[in-house]
Structure 1
Amino acid sequence: MALKDVEIRALKPRDRIYKCSDSHGLYLEVHPTGSKLWRYKYRRLGKEKRIALGRYPEAGLAEARRKRDEARLGLADGIDPAVERKREKLLAVFNGANTFGDLAKEYIDKMVAEGRADTTTTKANWLLEQLAPIAKSSVAELKPVEVLAALKRIEAKGKHETARRCRSFASRVFRYAVATGRAEIDPTSVLRSALITPKTEHHGAMLEPEAVGELLRSIDSYAGHAIARIAMQVAPHVMARPGELRQATWTEFDLEAATWKIPAARMKMPRPRAVPLSRQVVAYLRELHELTGPEGYVFPAFHTFKRPLSENTINQPFRRMGYAVGEITAHGLRTTASTFLNESGKWKPDAIERSLAHADKDAVRGIYNRGRYWEERVAMHQWWSDYLDELRKTTNICN
């Protein structure tokens, strides 16, 4: 006989658990503690089973019957309610453990295992911090509008390029989730046109001989910290990226062989790089060795030898010497070297590209050329340093 709500409310606990049947396998368990729990009993492949449908009164009589009827419909379609319940719980746990933040960290760990440069993985971790609003959301349930909201918060601060990079990083994480079975789509694929396209900004670079000569003289007379001065003096000669130079350690240099070997972990492209050192650069480094050698960072921070110079330490002196942001930057010195070396007509373009550590668009060709041009690069670096010395001495030098 079917139960009635008034009867259920009147049920009293006993010394032992007892049952009150409703219909079609639904019944109520009444516990000595007073708890009243809904259960559904059914048979599947000749075996009696049961599943829980909730606690009364949170789940009322009508709700319990609705859940029972859903289970019966599933049985009619060959779905075992107990098995389906376990699957749903496992899926919930799986999705709960696979948040965007979890997958992003897993993806970054994969980057580390693949030998990606430290600067690349550090930047990836920073981008993940910018995406904190979606970090705790299930990667399988995130919708484009939710990701867009997080990106728009970044845009609202005027950081258009950061928002673009965050979208790109999020896309890589979602594609990794799809590839590993944790998501079905990349919701960022439709967001490209929704973000503001940042204005392209070129690194400040000097391309006139007279201006370069004046800059070199200004650097030589810089009255600030000696480490910053020598870093500025070395930078135009070696054509390295600012991060590669300021994070250099003494173990990477062989001053007798006039060679600087940068490990793959510190390169933008994850492969080692060798840089020829001109006589002028060796002289600067021997001067610096008296201040910061023989171990640790070549260009340590002013307040501690445990960290390298900060990212802006070289650019800030340029500002103090009166150069505006658009006139010159540490990175722009690479553009200066590339322009003058190419315009000189003395050196093969591939040799110049090797010294700038630019990736070859043709991967096979890049591997083939990686070890070539060393002798030419040695000569080129010495010519470049000699040319810079000439520019420093006079303002009337032609290429």
Structure 2
Amino acid sequence: MSLSDTQLRAISGKAYTGKPELADRDGLSVRITPAGTITWQYRFRIDNRASRLTLGRYPDLKLADARKHIPELRNSLANNIDPRVFWKQRNTFADRVTLRDCCEQFLTARSSALKPGTVATYQSCFRAHLFDAFADRKVESITLGEWIDFFDKKAVTSRVTAGAILRQLKTVLNWAVRRQMISVVDVLMLRVSDVGSASKVGSRVLTILECGKIIRELDKCRATKTVTNSIKACLLSGARISEVLKSKRADYDLESMIWTVPTLNSKTNMPIRRPISPALLEILQEQWNIYHSQWTFPAPNDLKKHGNIASVNKLVREIKPRVDIPDWRIHDFRRTLSTRMSEAGVLPHVTEKMLGHLLGGVMAVYNKHDWLDEQVAAYELWTERLKLAALGDGKVVVLERTG
């Protein structure tokens, strides 16, 4: 029969002549001295030997709190960690682990295994939202209600931001739990839908005529060439803006006419190979003639750095009213290329390679072919349509299917 607080209060601090040990459940029990001193213990077996771990005294450690420790102790056993070792490490950290401690130690331990862009994303989130949250409070002392209030305030500004913060927070705290820095905390039960919303999957597909309007506007504006040419390169290639801005001269092989996105810059953690179309080559050569830098699209005010995505997004915001087409963003170029080329009969595995996606299923494991010849043909078709649209040729409308 499980213990109760009523039973323990009746024993604590009073003369006691009953059984020296009373069991609760799941290995939890109390030892009681004749003077009524009650000590919590966890009984377990490791290496085929019965062992005990002292958790603390009642009433300093309440019944409900003692029971909360059992799942993490059993989890340590499941992971072949002696609960006594786990308990010692846990309590070494317990008096000083704040939210900021968890974030900083996560970055220290994980940064070398993460991409620089991922590390920068974590750092930005931590600085803006987590480092100064809850001051110097221990993570385990922050109640679920306090966390919900925290996220409710973030959601007023942006539900998507609130959801993104929760995802990163859970990554950090789960890591801290696995490192035995903290015990399992209630905030880990929250889902993104409880506090905000996930980022929406885009559905915008531009028409060829809209692409032409954007190209003509880029040709007219006075922004620096790195900014305008990087946007054009995204439209021509279907590459991510980060892949374009972080590309170096050495990534472009003009002998084989292949652009290789290295693993470091690839979202898939695999190199991406694309043909260099004549139209893209014109942009590359213009960049190399203007800027003498290792970066193909360097920051104009510091050639030792690659171009800044914030500058690109700023120009997009500026030209949107002038092109007078429904809302769009650079990432829509990828969906547009894939959709329009599929309409023109280009096979899906070719457009997937143009976008730098990994193929699904068995093909992802066994088929390492990049279909470069097929990509060349697709890029020629895509470039032809964009050039017609950029010239404002009314006949381009027949190139689009409306079915």
TM superposition shift of 1:324: 6.1
Correspondence for 2:170? 171
TM-score computed with the length of structure 1 as normaliser? 0.69
| CA displacement, residues 285-313 of structure 1 (integer Å, 9 cap, x when unaligned) | 111111113x3322222322233322232
TM superposition shift of 1:165: 0.8
Once residues 110 and 325 of structure 1 are traced to their aligned partners in structure 2, the CA distance between those partners, rounded to angstroms, is 46
User: Structure 1 residues 256-265 or 335-344, which shifts more?
Assistant: 256-265
Correspondence for 1:384? 382
TM superposition shift of 1:325: 8.8
SS of the residue aligned with 2:352? helix
Residues 185 and 377 from structure 1, CA distance in 2 versus in 1: closer, same or farther, beyond 3 angstroms? same
Once residues 235 and 264 of structure 2 are traced to their aligned partners in structure 1, the CA distance between those partners, rounded to angstroms, is 23
Residues 134 and 275 from structure 1, CA distance in 2 versus in 1: closer, same or farther, beyond 3 angstroms? farther
Letter of the 1:306 counterpart: K
SS of the residue aligned with 1:306? strand
| CA displacement, residues 144-189 of structure 1 (integer Å, 9 cap, x when unaligned) | 2333333233223x12111101111111222223333333425234
| CA displacement, residues 211-244 of structure 1 (integer Å, 9 cap, x when unaligned) | 2223223323333323323223322111111122
Contact 2:97 2:139 in 1 (8 A): yes
Contact 2:247 2:296 in 1 (8 A): yes
Letter of the 1:149 counterpart: D
2:296 aligned to which of 292, 298, 316? 298
Residues 71 and 168 from structure 1, CA distance in 2 versus in 1: closer, same or farther, beyond 3 angstroms? farther
| CA displacement, residues 335-363 of structure 1 (integer Å, 9 cap, x when unaligned) | 22111111111x2211211221234453x
| CA displacement, residues 58-100 of structure 1 (integer Å, 9 cap, x when unaligned) | xxxxxxxxxxx9998268999999x99xx99975542245433
TM superposition shift of 1:141: 4.4
SS of the residue aligned with 2:298? coil
1:366 aligned to which of 337, 356, 364? 364
Letter of the 1:390 counterpart: L
SS of the residue aligned with 1:305? strand
SS of the residue aligned with 1:307? strand
Contact 1:119 1:268 in 2 (8 A): no
How many correspondences in the alignment?
Answer: 325
Contact 1:301 1:310 in 2 (8 A): yes
| CA displacement, residues 28-85 of structure 1 (integer Å, 9 cap, x when unaligned) | xxxxxxxxxxxxxxxxxxxxxxxxxxxxxxxxxxxxxxxxx9998268999999x99x
Letter of the 1:246 counterpart: L
TM-score computed with the length of structure 2 as normaliser? 0.69
When the two chains are superposed, the root-mean-square deviation of aligned CA atoms in Å is 3.7
Contact 1:205 1:329 in 2 (8 A): no
Once residues 378 and 275 of structure 1 are traced to their aligned partners in structure 2, the CA distance between those partners, rounded to angstroms, is 8
TM superposition shift of 1:277: 0.9
Contact 2:205 2:339 in 1 (8 A): no
Letter of the 1:290 counterpart: N
Structure 2, unaligned runs of 5 or more? 1-32, 43-51, 58-84
Once residues 41 and 349 of structure 2 are traced to their aligned partners in structure 1, the CA distance between those partners, rounded to angstroms, is 68
Correspondence for 2:147? 147
Letter of the 1:171 counterpart: K
Q: In the TM superposition, what are the counterparts of 1:194-205 in structure 2 within 5 Å? A: 194-197=194-197, 200=200, 202=202, 205=205
Q: In the TM superposition, what are the counterparts of 1:67-146 in structure 2 within 5 Å? A: 73=37, 92-109=91-108, 111-114=110-113, 116-129=114-127, 130-132=129-131, 133-134=133-134, 136-146=136-146
Correspondence for 1:263? 262
Residues 333 and 119 from structure 1, CA distance in 2 versus in 1: closer, same or farther, beyond 3 angstroms? same
Letter of the 1:230 counterpart: N
Q: In the TM superposition, what are the counterparts of 1:179-328 in structure 2 within 5 Å? A: 179-192=178-191, 193-197=193-197, 200=200, 202=202, 205-206=205-206, 208-293=207-292, 295-321=293-319, 322-323=322-323, 326-328=326-328
Once residues 384 and 325 of structure 2 are traced to their aligned partners in structure 1, the CA distance between those partners, rounded to angstroms, is 27
Once residues 201 and 302 of structure 1 are traced to their aligned partners in structure 2, the CA distance between those partners, rounded to angstroms, is 33
Higher Cα Rg: structure 1 or 2? 1
Contact 2:94 2:182 in 1 (8 A): no
| CA displacement, residues 86-126 of structure 1 (integer Å, 9 cap, x when unaligned) | x9997554224543333334444554444x33222221222
Contact 1:175 1:186 in 2 (8 A): no
Letter of the 1:94 counterpart: F
Correspondence for 1:23? none
Correspondence for 1:330? 330
Once residues 134 and 40 of structure 2 are traced to their aligned partners in structure 1, the CA distance between those partners, rounded to angstroms, is 40
2:394 aligned with 1:395:
yes
SS of the residue aligned with 2:304? coil
